[in-house]
Amino acid sequence: MTNAPITPEPAIRVRAIEKSYKELRVLRGVDFDVEPGTIFALLGSNGAGKTTMVKILSTLLSPDAGSASVNGFDVAAHAERVRESISLTGQFAAVDEILSGRENLVLVARLRHLKDPGQAADDLLARFNLSEAASRKVSAYSGGMRRRLDIAMSLIGQPEVIFLDEPTTGLDPEARIEVWQVIQELAKRGTTVLLTTQYLDEAEQLADRIAILHQGRIIANGTLAELKQLLPPAKVEYVEKQPTLEDIFLALVGNEGKVASSKEQS
């Protein structure tokens, strides 16, 4: 084998990561790779350790054992380089309530040491449909707007890798679809996305690869098609296709662009 295929360095590499909180062993040897420019979903129920994994990768927690690297940098040895490569959108929209939307973006742009923080903020406000609300205090924003702003803040400085920890938890269906569109657009531009979710349909819609984290270990990891093969072949059954409540809700609320795009995806 002289011509072995050249595999690109993974954007995220996780090897035998363990982490305990006192007695509780949250991660018990986790391994996975994420290829650059792909969307990787870490699926698991509440308390499965998804957030802990994301915190380790974003240098907020150090693992008890094992190693991890992001964008080629080891999270323990080169935490600073990792932080330059990533952006974290946590479980709760981490926005400053007292500042306006624009001020939030400028704040992050300044902390990322960009040359023109104002321009970066205005570009993202336009891209996320927030220009009109730019000067309003974030405490007056809706949940969806807050989440959009939160994600916009994560895009400042164009990090190579983005962690999204349960990005759609607590959002209404329309806002959820908006967030999905943003995530898909990110991957199209070449950003690597690691997303955690407890919603199966979210992983199914978005992810190139899905890993299931259960009791501190990855118990399955593959594309949707590969995961489907883990079960016995599909049976053919005839079922009347009823609209889902989501279809009905979106049709009645009537935001046409969004309904169309949700159908595209499903």
Partner 1 sequence: MSTHFFGDTAVLLGRSMRHIFRSADTIITTAITPIALMLLFVYVFGGAIKTGTENYVNYLLPGIMLIAIASGIAYTAVRLFTDMKSGIFERFHSMPIARSSVLWAHVLTSMVANGISLVIIVLVALLMGFRTSASLLSWLAIIGILALFTLALTWLAIIAGLTAKSVDGAGGFSYPLIFLPFISSAFVPTATMPGPVRAFAENQPVTSIVNTIQDLYEQRPIGSDIWVALAWCLGILVLAYFFAVAAFRRKIS
**Which CB atom, from 49 or from 259, has the smaller least distance to partner 1?**
49
Distance CA 195, CA 134 (A): 27
Q: Does residue 224 touch partner 1 according to CB under 8 A?
A: no
Tokens 């959108």 belong to 89
**Which CB atom, from 63 or from 144, has the smaller least distance to partner 1?**
63
Question: Which residues from 38-57 bind partner 1, rule CB under 8 A?
Answer: 55
How far apart are CB 58 and partner 1 at their closest, in Å?
A: 4
Question: Which residues from 62-91 bind partner 1, rule CB under 8 A?
Answer: 62, 80, 83-84, 86-88, 90-91
DSSP 1: -
For residue 67, give the 3-state DSSP assignment. strand
Q: Which of 4, 6, 98, 230 is in the footprint of partner 1 by CB under 8 A?
A: 98
Q: Does residue 114 touch partner 1 according to CB under 8 A?
A: no
**Which CB atom, from 88 or from 183, has the smaller least distance to partner 1?**
88
Phi, psi (degrees; rounded to nearest 5) at 80: -65, -40
How far apart are CB 230 and partner 1 at their closest, in Å?
A: 34
Q: Does residue 94 touch partner 1 according to CB under 8 A?
A: yes
Q: Does residue 112 touch partner 1 according to CB under 8 A?
A: yes
How far apart are CB 63 and partner 1 at their closest, in Å?
A: 11
How far apart are CB 251 and partner 1 at their closest, in Å?
A: 34
Q: Which of 22, 113, 115, 189 is in the footprint of partner 1 by CB under 8 A?
A: 113
Structure tokens at 148: 């959009």
Whether residue 32 contacts residue 211, with contact meaning beta carbons closer than 8 Å, is answered with: yes
The binding track of 130-159 with respect to partner 1, each residue x by CB under 8 A or -, is: -----------------------x------
Residues sharing a CB contact under 8 Å with residue 61, sequence separation 6 or more, in sequence order: 19, 52, 55
* Nearest Cα to Cα of residue 151 among 178, 173, 119: 178
Q: Which of 95, 105, 130, 152 is in the footprint of partner 1 by CB under 8 A?
A: 95
Residues sharing a CB contact under 8 Å with residue 225, sequence separation 6 or more, in sequence order: none
* Nearest Cα to Cα of residue 88 among 61, 126, 57: 57
Q: Which of 15, 33, 61, 78 is in the footprint of partner 1 by CB under 8 A?
A: 61
Assign residue 66 a region (left: φ > 0; alpha: ψ between -120 and 50; beta: otherwise): left
Tokens 């007292």 belong to 98
Q: Does residue 160 touch partner 1 according to CB under 8 A?
A: no
Residues sharing a CB contact under 8 Å with residue 150, sequence separation 6 or more, in sequence order: 89, 93, 94, 95
The contact set with partner 1 (CB under 8 A) reads 55, 58-62, 80, 83-84, 86-88, 90-99, 103, 107-108, 110-113, 153
